[in-house]
Amino acid sequence: MLLIIPSIDLSNAHALRCVVGTPGTEALYSEISDHPVELAQLWRRENAKCIHVTDTDSLKGANCIANLAMAIELQKAIDIPVQFLTWQPTVDDYRRLLDAGVYRVGLSSVAYTDPDGVRRLVDDFGASRVIFAVRAHNGDVDCGPRVGMIADEEYIRTVYELGGRRTVYTEVDWEGNLTGEDLKVITRIASVAPMKFTMAGGIASPQHLWTLQDSVPRNVDSVVIGRAMYENRFPCQNIWRNIEAKLEPEIHAHAHENSVQSSISKLASDDV
């Protein structure tokens, strides 16, 4: 069974997507999106086992400290792993996030700019908390100006040699397009190294999930879903939205009173 991981895209510590609720609740979900902690707690109440958080500003080359602080705050507020993808220039940047309590960080170009530092990071925190992120296009990964373009298969082999045991993989053309994922690409990627893979982007419907469930290699065990989750494209979400229409306003009104719900010490270290 594929694990479904809801995603939150951060820009300047605000969530970029807003949940589409039942008529009359638009303002409620808009307010929640302005408070990513509440959004993460909403996904948790809807039985998420992990939250995928992307620092979108870092993808554009901007260093938004507020996004890093928000990732730490999100982890403190929920009792499941936060999987944080951010493009940082040094291994020490990722180490600080892990030391501050973020359960899992996704590394990218530092695999080439500081491979020894990456090995030490994996040794210190484990391969469940230190994973790798691939945003590919036509089989190539842009690893920044210091490294250039790397073939996705070469990148995966490299991070496996550094101790990596999980890669989050997306093709840029899948992101936000609801067109499904290319099974040929997934099968090719999953055969490169004996590690686990999370696929991200493109999922639009239960049918897409069923197709993946029946067709992908066994080491592909999870999918990150963004837009389709926010647009309520899965039947079970109608139940949640109807309940939230009654209960969520009260929860939101008292959100500032909520104490910290979890700490990293309470999270299991198994490979979610």
pLDDT at residue 268 in the model: 46
Residue 270 has pLDDT above 50, yes or no: no
Q: What per-residue confidence (pLDDT) applies to 253?
A: 66
pLDDT at 39 over 90: yes
Cα separation, 203 vs 120, in Å, equals 35
d(CA 34, CA 15): 6
Among positive and negative, which fits the CA dihedral 70, 73, 77, 82?
A: positive
Beta bridge mates, 4: 223
Q: What is the pairing mode between strands 196-200 and 51-55? A: unpaired
pLDDT band at 254 (very low <50, low <70, confident <90, very high): low
Judge whether 94 and 121 are in contact, CB under 8 Å: yes
In this predicted structure, the answer to whether residue 237 has a pLDDT above a threshold of 90 is: no
What ranges make up the beta strands (E) of 12-157? 14-15, 51-55, 82-85, 104-107, 130-137, 140-142, 149-151
For 168, half-sphere exposure in the C-beta direction (CA atoms, 13 angstrom radius) is 30
* 194-227 pLDDT tens trace: 999 999 988 888 898 898 889 999 999 999 999 9
Is the per-residue pLDDT at 265 higher than 50? no
Mean pLDDT computed over 28-43: 86
Q: Which residues touch 258 (CB under 8 Å, ≥6 apart)? A: 41, 77
Pick from 215, 200, 79, 195: nearest CA to 135: 200
Name the phi and psi angles at 91, rounded to 5: -65, -35
- Determine whether 198 is exposed, middle or buried from the number of CB atoms within 10 Å of its CB (0-12, 13-18, 19+): buried
Query: What confidence category does residue 112 fall into, taking pLDDT thresholds of 50, 70 and 90?
Result: very high
DSSP letter at 179? S
CATH number for the domain running over 3-255: 3.20.20.70
What's residue 201's pLDDT? 86
Mean pLDDT computed over 97-104: 98
pLDDT (0 to 100) of residue 154: 97
CB atoms within 10 A of CB 65: 9
Annotated domain spans of the chain: 3-255
153-188: pLDDT as tens digits: 999 999 999 999 999 999 888 876 777 788 999 999
Q: Is the pLDDT of residue 261 over 50?
A: no
The reported pLDDT for the residue numbered 269 is: 43
For the full predicted model, state whether its pTM sits above 0.95.
Answer: no
DSSP-derived letter for residue 2 is P
The pLDDT, as a whole number, for residue 246 is 75
Residues 251, 32 contacting (CB under 8 angstroms):
no
pLDDT band at residue 145, thresholds of 50, 70 and 90? confident
Cα radius of gyration rounded to whole Å, the chain: 18
pLDDT digits 0-9 by tens, 40-90: 999 998 899 999 999 999 999 898 999 999 999 999 999 999 999 999 999
pLDDT of amino acid 18:
86
Q: What is the mean pLDDT of residues 2-7?
A: 95
